[in-house]
Copies of this chain bind each other. A is one copy, B any other.
């Protein structure tokens, strides 16, 4: 069991965006959709042991659970449509609503990164920061249920790094990759270790 947490710094907080302009009007939602693809897809199958958490502007968390998710397809547009549905569900809910299952296997809640990290203490995930300055992934010891935290196309903010203080910091290679490529590399490393 492992997880990925992707911090979307410009991602939409409301469903009022068009699926025809994910990089622009939807605040680089294309980046987050590719991250979900990299986290959850095998060829013609899903990684049922993986969870992915999209943290939108440190205010909303969309959780995609590999074990339960349905209707998730590999392409960006249909994935963004599921996120849009999640934001619609949240918009209709009272402010103090708990996590809502907007479509099978996708939950949405008003939750910050510190709130998510707090919840990990109960669910058992151990945060691992993925950042170009970290120790090499291939050489690193990993916790039992790592939750790899990545930033979208922008750098981590100081308050995010503060929330993650104490977490191990790993790097996948000598060059700086898009978040979705890092996720593909991490999944491959875990697959190879599991053999």
Contact = CB atoms under 8 A, between A and B. Distances in A.
Contact of A73 (B23, B45, B176, B181): B23
A173 to B, nearest CB: 5
Contacts of A31: 74
Interface string A21-63: 0110000001100100110011111000000000000000000
Interface in A136-172: 138, 153, 172
Interface stretch (A2-10, A86-94, A183-191): A183-191
B41 A178 contact: yes
A76 interface: yes
Given A23-B75, A75-B30, A42 B173 contact: no
A177 interface: yes
A78 interface: yes
B74 A43 contact: no
Contact of A185 (B34, B74, B188): B188
Contacts of A181: 38, 41, 184, 187-188
A38 B192 contact: no
A78 to B, nearest CB: 7
Nearest to A192: B173
Contacts of A175: 42, 191
A81 to B, nearest CB: 11
A122 interface: no
Given A184-B185, A185-B184, A188-B172, A30 B74 contact: yes
A43 B178 contact: yes
A177 B42 contact: yes
A175 B181 CA distance: 17
9 contacts: A37-B180, A38-B181, A41-B178, A43-B177, A44-B153, A173-B192, A174-B195, A181-B184, A181-B188
